[in-house]
Amino acid sequence: MSLEALTYTFVVGSFVIYIAIAFWSRASSTQEFYVAGGGVTPLANGMATAADWMSAASFISLAGIVSFAGYDASGYIMGWTGGYVLLALLLAPYLRKFGKFTIPDFVGDRYYSGVARVVAVICVMFISFTYISGQMRGTGIVFSRFLQVEIDTGIMIGMAVVFVYAVLGGMKGITYTQVAQYCVMIFAFTVPALFLTFSMTGHLLPQTGLGATLNNGMSVLDHLDGLVTELGFSSFTEGSKSKVDMFFITAALMFGTAGLPHVIVRFFTVPRVRDARISAAWALVFIAILYSSIPAVAAFGRINLIETVNGADNLGTPYEEMPQWFKKWENAGLIAWYDHNADGRTQYAAGDAFTGRQHKPIYWGAAEDKVARNFYSNQRHVVNPSSGEFDPKVQPFANEIYVDSDIMVLANPEIAELPDWVIALIAAGAMAAALSTAAGLLLVIATSVSHDLLKKTIRPQITDRQELLAARLAAMVAVLVAGYLGMHPPDYVAAVVALAFGLACASFFPAIIMGIFYQRMNKYGAISGMLVGLISTISYIVYFKFLGGEPEHWLMGISPEGFGALGMVLNFIVAYLVAHLTPEPPKHIQQIVQNIRVPRNSGSAYY
Amino acid sequence: MNPDTDTATQYWRRNLQIIFSYLAVWFLVSFGCGIVFVDELNQFNLFGFKLGYWFANQGSIFVFSALTIAYAVRMSHLDNEFDVHE
């Protein structure tokens, strides 16, 4: 079978499985639609949580980011795994004992306030829509790269699939599809990683292979440090960011992870408090399998890239001799070459090979266009080369290469010369990563509308059947909005994602923690804390990301990505002060706090 | 419905002690070894890794996983000990 036929088989086959699972486990009550009937086993919930959490960004982009940023990207690795320690120890067991359907449920009931509930709903919506547009975009990109389909068509196919199984299956349906998606995803990531490690180092596991010794007697990381510093980059294993900034970025990602609604809500689906703790542990183990192999994939990918482009003698490789994958991804627009020194050889070093916004190449004409290519070498023409100046004291030549960081995962199997079915597997895995996260988010949005806004705020008299119908309609509308956002992505996707984590960190995390661990916290404290956290974080990020604030003016050198952590501290302080100046919460609320701290009788809360 | 208040208070106190000690480890491996003391630890070599870099990119993940597993096991025992399990 050709590669394209194989890819279609894998992708379509996996879609059929997801829809079949959703049909078999479709939801028939709000209880099943919101929390899968509360009967999911800890192991299954752990897998589903891992799939829910690991998005297209984790699967495709993170290894590339680590590959180019080295130690500076550690904040992502520590933040996106360390958040689960907080979830397991501080949130999951108690929220499970509380036993409602949503985060706004908890915030609204614990702080006996409709205002608190509505503030929480707004945060949930904002965080979830930000995230889901990225996932929809992700499915479109995977389609376009592997199956030569237009991005927008790909997004529509993705919408249709999620639509069928999330609207039909609800939480019950997506839980079991997420279990299947986790298996597809982890297999697709691990197989190429194992092959790559084995072919580079002879080790079996990426986690130990990263510390291995190469044929030249150097360890992998020393070798890589030597390669990159010679080319004018900063060292791979050492950072260039300030420690304060690293600290705050890591903290914002960690506490933000623990405050993300679509992750927290997964812990409502297990039968007992004990199961919430166990499934949090499983989730982290399943996530760790992928995350701990990312640094190895990143390092090997960077070494391969440098050695392929610059050749064994570090003079560059003649373009005609470049491997097939280089030309394939050049056609896809993820790689570009401009021959600054006109020697016919590709050279990779520090600096930007192209000018303009984000220093991305602008190709002259389409990939199929023969005229838009060099007559002799057949390379694609690019119209925005940089000046090609460089400092000879720092690096041997100017950088001539643009590489999109997604290449590190997408092209891995080809670089390692793995069989076609592995490449097809990557496509199915990336799709699973994007769809599973999209479905989880979709459900959170639908639940906020039908449960928190409709049932709890606007029309409390509706029946269970009507609420279920409303949830399905809300999910349908949310799919359409998410698809639209995916097709017309906001201009600054990365900045908006920073905002989502910042908000989760500065609003939900403190409100929930104080709701559990601080009995004296009342509604005045919680609401003013949330508002201060929200407003300070939004203002800081908007000012520095959108209104052109200069990095010199960062408060204590904290970048906008890390400000959520400071917003969280402000939230805690303000909430504490306000709570002490206002009356303590009513007795029955204090009773609830006492009650969620003890595991027994968790089932009684919602039956 | 509510368990005896004394038992509940003691159970909660023990739980908080466990949480604090585990979070101390969590903080130490990530923010401590991975960020604040990373340069000092990078002087040492562990199986081909600079130690600080290893903590930031691999070690912290393994310790995090171990912490959540240990907490689940420890708390299951504590639940039984105080007879508050389900």
In chain B, where the domains are located: 5-81
CB pairs under 8 A between A and B: 151
Asked if A221's CB is within 8 angstroms of B34's CB, the reply is no
Q: Are A567 and A537 in contact (CB under 8 A)?
A: yes
In this complex, which of B8, B42, B64 lies closest to A238 when CB atoms are compared? B42
State the pLDDT at residue A44: 96
Q: Which two tokens stand for residue A597?
A: 């701290």
Contact A354, A386 (CB under 8 A): yes
- Per the structure, how many domains does chain A have? 2
In a domain, A95, yes or no: yes
Give B-chain residues touching A219 at CB under 8 angstroms.
48-49
The whole-number pLDDT of residue B55 equals 96
Query: Which class for A583: exposed (0-12), middle (13-18), buried (19 or more C-beta within 10 A)?
Result: exposed
Chain A residues with CB under 8 Å of B69 CB are 281, 285
Residue A598 has pLDDT above 70, yes or no: yes
Q: How many angstroms separate the CA of residue A595 from the nearest CA in chain B?
A: 7
CB contact under 8 A, A77 and B68: no
Residues A293 and A311 both lie in one domain: no
Over the range A445-470, which residues count as b (16 or more CB within 10 Å of their CB) and which as e?
A: bbbbbbbbbbbbeeeeeeeeeebbeb
pLDDT at A405: 84
Nearest CA-CA distance, residue A295 and chain B, Å: 7
Selecting from B39, B48, B67 the residue whose C-beta is nearest the C-beta of A221 gives: B48
Would strands A401-403 and A345-346 be described as parallel, antiparallel, or unpaired? unpaired
Q: Calculate the dihedral angle through the C-alpha atoms of A366, A370, A376, A382, rounding to the nearest 10 degrees.
A: -20
Secondary structure (3-state) at B50: strand
Cα–chain center distance at B57: 18
| Unique residue bearing structure tokens 């402000």 | A570
H or E stretch including A346? strand A345-346
Reported pTM: 0.93
What's phi and psi for A354, nearest 5 deg?
-130, 160
Nearest-by-Cβ selection for A85 from B11, B35, B64: B64
Contact B36 A243 (CB under 8 A): yes
Predicted confidence (pLDDT) at residue A368 exceeds the cutoff of 80: no
Contact across the interface for A281 and B69, Cβ inside 8 Å: yes
**Chain B residues closer than 8 Å to A598 by CB:** 2-3, 8, 11-12, 84
Q: Which residues contact B9 (CB under 8 A, 6 or more apart)?
A: none
Residue A276 touches partner B, C-beta closer than 8 Å: no
Same domain? For A89 and A134 the reply is yes
Residue A94 phi, psi (nearest 5): -80, -35
Q: Distance (Å) from the C-alpha of residue A238 to the closest C-alpha of chain B?
A: 7
Burial class (CB in 10 A: 0-12, 13-18, 19+), B3: middle
More confident call, A150 vs A592 = A592
Output the pLDDT for position A3: 83
Interface of B with A (CB under 8 A): 1-3, 8, 11-12, 15, 19, 22-23, 26, 30-31, 34-36, 38-39, 42, 46-50, 53-54, 56-58, 60-62, 64-65, 67-69, 71-72, 75-76, 79, 84-86
Query: For residue A370, is pLDDT > 90?
Result: no
Do residues A428 and A546 both lie within one domain? yes
A305 and A292 in a common domain: no
pLDDT per residue over A229-288, tens digit each? 999 999 999 988 899 999 999 999 999 999 999 999 999 999 999 999 999 999 999 999
Cα A329 to Cα A410: distance, rounded to the nearest angstrom: 9
pLDDT at site A42: 95
Closest residue of chain B to A276, computed from CA coordinates: B72
| Whole-number Å distance between alpha carbons of A174 and A192 | 27
A475: domain range?
A: 3-300+421-605
Both tokens of A169, joined, read 């299956």
Ordered alpha helix ranges (H), A28-150: 30-35, 42-53, 56, 62-69, 74-86, 92-98, 103-110, 114-147
Residues A242 and A318 both lie in one domain: no
- Count, residues in chain B: 86
* CB atoms B76 and A274 under 8 Å: yes
Q: Which of A108, A505, B70 is nearest to A497 (CA)?
A: A505
* A292 contact B CB<8A: yes
Q: How far apart are CA A399 and CA A348, in angstroms?
A: 5
A272 and chain B in contact, CB less than 8 A = yes
Q: Residue B81 belongs to what H/E stretch? A: helix B60-81
Domain C-terminal end among A341, A371, A402: A402
| Cα A195 to Cα A1, A6, A200, A329, distances in angstroms | 22, 20, 9, 21
Give CA–CA dist A311/A322, Å, rounded: 10
Chain B residues with CB under 8 Å of A82 CB are: 26, 30, 60, 64
Q: Quote the CA–CA distance of A212 and B66 in Å, as a whole number.
A: 24
Which of A43, A49, A71, A596 would best serve as a mutation to test chain B binding (most B beta carbons within 10 A)? A71
Nearest residue of B to residue A87, measured between CA atoms: B68
Residues in CB range of A572: below 8 A, 6 or more apart: A510, A514, A529
Same domain, A196 and A314: no
Whether A413 maps to a domain, the answer reads no
Average pLDDT over residues A334-361: 89
Closest chain B residue to the Cα of A211, Cα to Cα: B48
What is the rounded CA–CA span in Å between residue B65 and residue A464? Answer: 39
Cα-Cα end-to-end distance for chain A: 53
Q: How confident is the model at residue A548 (pLDDT cuts 50, 70, 90)?
A: confident
**Whole-angstrom Cα distance, residue A320 to residue A377?**
6
* C-alpha distance from residue A144 to each of A131, A469, A510 (Å): 20, 34, 41
Q: Do A281 and B49 touch (CB under 8 A)?
A: no
The answer to whether the Cβ–Cβ distance between A221 and B30 falls below 8 Å is no
Show the tokens assigned to A171. 């939480």
Q: Report the candidate in A93, A532, A94 with the shortest Cα–Cα distance to residue A277.
A: A93
Q: How far is residue A167 CA from its own chain's centroid?
A: 23
Write out the H or E segment, with its range, that includes residue A345.
strand A345-346
Q: What is residue A354's DSSP assignment? A: B
* CATH code of the domain containing A25: 1.20.1730.10
A274 and B31 within 8 Å at the Cβ level: the answer is no
Average model confidence (pLDDT) across chain A? 89
B39, B65, B85 ranked by CB distance to A599: nearest: B85
Rounded Cα distance between A357 and A414, Å, is 30
Question: Rg of chain B over CA atoms, in angstroms?
Answer: 18
Task: Report the Cα–Cα distance between both ends of chain B, in Å, rounded.
Answer: 13
State whether A378 and A435 are in the same domain: no
Q: Determine the Cα–Cα distance for residues A564 and A191; give it in Å rounded to an integer.
A: 36
User: Residue B32 has what pLDDT?
Assistant: 96
Instruction: Indicate if the pLDDT at residue A596 is higher than 90.
Output: yes
The yes-or-no verdict on residue A356 having pLDDT over 90 is: no
d(CA A534, CA A539): 8
Min Cα–Cα distance to chain A from B74, Å: 10
The SS3 call for residue A210 is coil
Taking the alpha carbons of A119, A124, A130, A136 in that order, is the dihedral positive or negative?
Answer: negative
Q: What is the pLDDT of residue A607?
A: 35
Shared-domain flag, residues A212 and A332 = no
Which of the two residues, A527 and A497, has the higher pLDDT score? Answer: A527
C-alpha–C-alpha distance, residues A75 and B11, integer Å = 35
**Is the separation of the CB atoms in A299 and A220 below 8 Å?**
yes
Contact between B86 and A274 using a beta-carbon 8 Å cutoff:
yes
The pLDDT tens digits of the residues spanning A61-116 come to: 889 999 999 999 999 999 999 999 999 999 999 999 998 888 999 999 999 999 99
* Residue A179 belongs to some domain of the structure: yes
Q: Which residues pair with B45 in a beta bridge?
A: B50
A262 with A283, same domain: the answer is yes
User: Is the Cβ pair A292, B58 closer than 8 Å?
Assistant: yes
The burial class, CB within 10 Å (0-12 / 13-18 / 19+), for A602 is: buried
Q: Determine whether the interchain pair A295/B58 forms a contact, defined as Cβ–Cβ distance below 8 Å.
A: yes
Q: Which residue of B has its CA nearest to A274?
A: B76
Say yes or no to pLDDT of A606 above 60. Answer: no
Tens of pLDDT, residues A397-455: 999 999 988 888 888 888 777 888 888 888 899 999 989 999 999 999 999 999 999 88
Contacts of residue A217 in chain B, CB cutoff 8 Å? Answer: none
Mean pLDDT of A566-585: 96
Torsion sign (Cα): A196, A199, A205, A206: negative
Q: d(Cα A192, Cα A532) in Å, to the nearest integer? A: 46
Q: Does any CB of chain B come closer than 8 Å to the CB of residue A202? A: no
Compute the distance between CA of residue A218 and CA of residue A305 in angstroms, rounded to an integer.
18
Q: Residue A363's pLDDT is what?
A: 87
Tell me what ipTM this predicted complex has: 0.95
How sure is the predictor about A577, in pLDDT bands with cuts at 50, 70 and 90? very high
Q: Residue B1: what pLDDT?
A: 43
| Helices marked H in A546-606 | 563-581, 587-596
A464-487 tens-digit pLDDT: 899 999 999 999 999 999 999 888
Instruction: State the angle between helix axes of A42-53 and A168-201 in degrees (0 to 180), rounded to the nearest 10.
Output: 70
Alpha helices of A163-215 — where are they, by DSSP H? 168-201, 206-209
Q: Comparing A368 with A84, which gets the higher pLDDT?
A: A84
Q: How far is A497 from chain B (nearest CA, A)?
A: 22
**Spans in chain B with pLDDT lower than 50:** 1
Q: Is A250–B35 a contact, with Cβ atoms under 8 angstroms apart? A: yes
pLDDT of residue A605: 43
Continuous H helices in A292-349: 294-310, 324-331
Residues A243 and A279 grouped into a single domain: yes
Cβ–Cβ < 8 Å for A86, A255:
yes
Return the structure tokens found at A207.
């986690």
pLDDT confidence of residue A604: 43
Interface membership of A77 toward B (CB under 8 Å): yes
User: Do A288 and B23 count as a contact with CB atoms less than 8 A apart?
Assistant: no
Other beta carbons within 10 Å of A54 = 26
Assign A490 a pLDDT band (cuts: 50, 70, 90).
Answer: low
Residue in chain A closest to B31 (alpha carbons) equals A247
Strands (E), A307-450: 317-318, 335-337, 345-346, 401-403
- Domain identity same for A506 and A538: yes
CA dist B56 and B40 (Å) reads 13
- How crowded is residue A598: how many other Cβ atoms within 10 Å of its Cβ? 22
Q: Give yes or no: residues A530 and A586 share one domain.
A: yes
Mean pLDDT over residues A485-508, rounded? 78
A contact test, residue of B16, B68, B78 with most A CBs within 10 A = B68
